[in-house]
Structures are given as structure tokens and as C-alpha cells.
């Protein structure tokens, strides 16, 4: 029934930007549009902006997309299509699937952003042809997905993939989840920024390069600021990234020993800002993971970059609509 002209729309709905892309069955982006997320205007305005953007892409298209997939930065229920909680959007219990399918008269599928990105990397990115892989996305937070035996794991209550909340330091710093020492609390973008601010406050002279990169305002220090200071060889920034890398290695070792993937795919803003982390994590993992688990392992950077969520969400919708007997 489907041919190479079959396409779906993928939407990456994040706290700062929305990416809408029409993607064909081969994973090629046919057309796309990016817009800022006007969080202050609330869910209704954002949903109508998404609907308008989809209509705009449809007008340019030769063939109509058959459905829409949405990857949301938050907790979603894929069965009801409701976004239960999205911190960066300030959303609670928003029935985005029903709103958009009514507005656009197309089937809509909802998942979270990192799971969509895992689909993208698995089917059309660095995970192609591999049935056992883990994607670890290190952005502001840390999340990912585990594909085992050709299945993307969802878990008992659909929360599988919260890889960032694996504890790597029993007495480590407090995490947003309430626990201590999560990988995210040591190596997520927000945690790198927090450690950098603390270090600058404790020792302003050692922190002079970081402070300068942040325009003199410690509140403006972000993970990207730290990455820029690393480029300049700043010893404090190098030390901060060294300790974040150790946390990522510990987390990766746990995942590799637990799931024995053939590939570990690393993506997200922190990795994109410091691509050398891929090799450093690779070296650390080979020293510390069980030899039988790490021998066949490949560690690769993500291929789809910041388009992974939109492409993955589109693929997920395509699969729901064209695979007759999933799993
Ligand atoms: Zn946590």
C-alpha cells in the first residue's frame, strides 16, 4: 500500500523551539520549519501554531502526509495521547493528540522526545541495521532509549529510558528528581552549569575565563559557556568536564553491563558541544565495563543531530500506520 512517496509529519516540541518536518518513508526530510516555542502563550496557542505549520507544509507538498508523530519534552501517555507533565512547557494534562487530530483530520501519535530520537537514530541514523543499541542523549537533562532484540523498551508504565537518573554517586549532588548522585545531576547540561557557577563563586580568580565567557555574570554560565572555556584550555573548565565525563563513563558502564548493546550512540547538546567526549567515554568504558560486554561494542556519535526527534516522531507515526502487526 505504501510507496516511496508515502510521508508523515514529525514534530519536535521542546521548551525553546518547535521543529515540524515532513519525512518520507526513507527517512528523508522533504520540507521543514522551525519556530520558537511561545511558552507564555499557553497550550492552546502552541497547539494552533503547530496545526498552522503542518497546514503550511501540506500546501507545499506534492503528496499528503498520512499521519503525524509528536515527540514532546515531557511525560506523555502514548495510549491516550495526553501530555501529563512537561516542565519546560509548563503543561499539565494537555490532550494534544485529540486537539491536533481534530484540527488536522489526520491520525496523531504522541511520544516523548528522547524516545522519538532513539527511533530516529535506530532506523535512519547511527543505529541502522542494529537490533541491540542504546542511545544516550546528554542535553540539559539526560535521557535515552534502549533497543533490545529489535524492540524499543517501554517498560511497565512507559517510563523506560530515564537513563539520566541512574545513580552513579551514592552521596553525590541533589538531582531534580529528588534523589542524589544521578548521572544527570553530575553530567547533564544544567548540572555542569550549576557546578561551574559554584566553582566560580568559590574561587573567582580560577573562574575568570568562565566569568568572561558569560559576560561577567555568573548566572549566565551554561554548559555551552563551559564548552567554550574548554576550547580556550581553561583549567577549571577542563576539570569540570573531566568530572562530568567520569559520571558519563560510570553510567555508560552500568548500561553496557546490563544490556550488552552492540552500539552506544551518544548525542545531545553537551556531546555536540564537546565531540571529543565520544572518544573519552569510549576509552573509559573499555577500561571499566565487563570485557565480554565491551569487546563487540561500538560507541558512535548521533547522526541525526538536532533533527533526530522530528525524524523519529515521523517514523513512529509511519510505523503505527503501515506496520500491520507491530512487535
Ligand atoms: Zn535524578
Measured CA to CA, the distance from residue 323 to residue 326 in angstroms comes to: 6
Can you tell me which residue has the cell 520540507?
A: 31
Measured CA to CA, the distance from residue 134 to residue 161 in angstroms comes to: 9
Cell numbers standing for residue 14: 521542546
Per the CB < 8 A criterion, the answer to whether 45 and 79 are in contact is no
Cell numbers standing for residue 206: 580560577
Q: What is the pLDDT of residue 3?
A: 77
Name the nearest CA neighbour of 121 among 138, 134, 140, 111: 134
Q: If you measure from the C-alpha of residue 285 to the centroid of ligand 1, how many angstroms do you get, rounded to a whole number? A: 22
| Residues lower than pLDDT 70 in the chain | 1-2, 324-327
Q: If you measure from the C-alpha of residue 247 to the centroid of ligand 1, how many angstroms do you get, rounded to a whole number? A: 13
Query: What pLDDT digit, counting tens, does each position of 215-264 carry?
Result: 999 999 999 999 999 999 999 999 999 999 999 999 999 999 999 999 99
Q: If you measure from the C-alpha of residue 188 to the centroid of ligand 1, how many angstroms do you get, rounded to a whole number? A: 10
Can you tell me which residue has the cell 512547557?
A: 89
**DSSP per-residue letters across 62-78:** SS----EEEEESSEEET
Q: What is the pLDDT of residue 276?
A: 97
Q: If you measure from the C-alpha of residue 191 to the centroid of ligand 1, how many angstroms do you get, rounded to a whole number? A: 11
Query: What pLDDT digit, counting tens, does each position of 267-279 carry?
Result: 999 999 999 999 9
Q: If you measure from the C-alpha of residue 185 to the centroid of ligand 1, how many angstroms do you get, rounded to a whole number? A: 6
How buried is 16 (Cβ within 10 angstroms: 0-12 exposed, 13-18 middle, 19+ buried)? exposed
Q: What is the pLDDT of residue 63?
A: 86
Measured CA to CA, the distance from residue 301 to residue 137 in angstroms comes to: 10
Q: If you measure from the C-alpha of residue 138 to the centroid of ligand 1, how many angstroms do you get, rounded to a whole number? A: 14
Give whole-number Cα distances, 154 to 68, 97, 145, 205, 322, in Å.
20, 19, 9, 47, 20
Cell numbers standing for residue 184: 544527570
Q: If you measure from the C-alpha of residue 174 to the centroid of ligand 1, how many angstroms do you get, rounded to a whole number? A: 8
Q: If you measure from the C-alpha of residue 26 to the centroid of ligand 1, how many angstroms do you get, rounded to a whole number? A: 36
Q: If you measure from the C-alpha of residue 262 to the centroid of ligand 1, how many angstroms do you get, rounded to a whole number? A: 26
Q: If you measure from the C-alpha of residue 179 to the centroid of ligand 1, how many angstroms do you get, rounded to a whole number? A: 5
Neighbouring residues of 251: CB distance < 8 A, sequence distance ≥ 6: 136, 142, 163, 164, 166, 168, 183, 187
Q: If you measure from the C-alpha of residue 194 to the centroid of ligand 1, how many angstroms do you get, rounded to a whole number? A: 15
Q: What is the pLDDT of residue 2?
A: 64
Per the CB < 8 A criterion, the answer to whether 148 and 133 are in contact is no
**DSSP per-residue letters across 298-310:** EEEE-SSGGGHHH
Q: If you measure from the C-alpha of residue 181 to the centroid of ligand 1, how many angstroms do you get, rounded to a whole number? A: 7
Name the nearest CA neighbour of 141 among 177, 196, 184, 193: 184
Q: If you measure from the C-alpha of residue 248 to the centroid of ligand 1, how many angstroms do you get, rounded to a whole number? A: 14
Q: What is the pLDDT of residue 326?
A: 47
Q: If you measure from the C-alpha of residue 166 to the centroid of ligand 1, how many angstroms do you get, rounded to a whole number? A: 7
Amino acid at each position: 500500500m505504501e510507496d516511496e512517496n508515502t510521508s508523515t509529519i514529525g514534530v519536535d516540541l521542546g521548551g525553546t523551539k518547535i521543529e515540524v518536518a515532513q519525512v518520507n518513508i526513507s527517512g528523508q526530510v522533504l520540507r521543514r520549519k522551525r519556530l520558537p516555542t511561545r511558552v507564555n502563550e499557553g497550550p492552546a496557542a502552541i497547539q494552533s501554531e503547530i496545526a498552522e505549520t503542518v497546514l503550511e507544509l501540506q500546501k507545499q507538498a506534492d503528496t499528503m502526509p498520512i499521519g503525524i508523530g509528536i515527540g514532546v519534552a515531557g511525560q506523555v501517555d502514548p495510549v491516550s495521547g495526553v501530555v501529563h507533565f512537561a516542565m519546560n512547557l509548563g503543561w499539565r494534562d494537555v490532550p494534544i493528540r485529540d486537539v491536533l487530530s481534530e484540527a488536522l483530520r489526520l491520525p496523531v501519535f504522541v511520544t516523548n522526545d528522547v524516545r522519538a530520537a532513539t527511533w530516529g537514530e535506530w532506523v535512519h541514523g547511527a543505529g541502522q541495521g542494529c537490533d541491540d543499541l542504546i542511545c544516550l542523549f546528554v542535553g540539559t537533562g539526560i535521557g535515552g532509549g534502549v533497543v533490545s532484540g529489535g524492540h524499543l523498551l517501554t517498560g511497565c508504565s512507559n517510563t523506560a529510558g530515564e537513563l539520566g537518573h541512574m545513580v552513579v554517586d551514592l552521596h553525590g549532588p541533589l538531582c531534580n528528581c529528588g534523589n542524589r548522585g544521578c548521572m544527570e545531576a553530575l553530567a547533564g547540561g544544567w548540572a555542569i552549569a550549576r557546578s561551574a557557577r559554584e566553582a566560580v563563586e568559590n574561587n573567582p580568580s580560577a573562574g575568570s575565563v568562565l566569568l568572561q565567557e558569560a559576560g561577567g555574570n555568573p548566572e549566565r554560565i551554561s554548559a555551552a559557556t563551559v564548552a567554550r572555556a574548554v576550547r580556550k584550555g581553561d583549567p577549571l573548565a577542563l576539570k569540570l568536564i573531566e568530572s562530568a565525563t567520569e559520571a558519563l563513563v560510570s553510567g555508560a558502564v552500568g548500561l553496557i553491563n546490563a544490556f550488552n548493546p552492540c552500539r552506544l550512540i551518544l548525542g545531545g547538546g553537551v556531546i555536540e558541544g564537546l565531540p571529543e567526549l565520544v572518544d573519552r567515554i569510549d576509552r573509559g568504558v573499555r577500561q571499566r565495563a565487563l570485557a565480554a560486554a565491551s569487546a563487540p561494542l561500538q560507541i558512535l556519535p548521533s547522526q541525526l543531530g538536532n533533527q533526530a526527534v522530528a525524524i523519529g516522531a515521523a517514523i513512529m507515526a509511519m510505523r503505527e500506520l503501515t506496520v500491520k502487526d507491530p512487535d
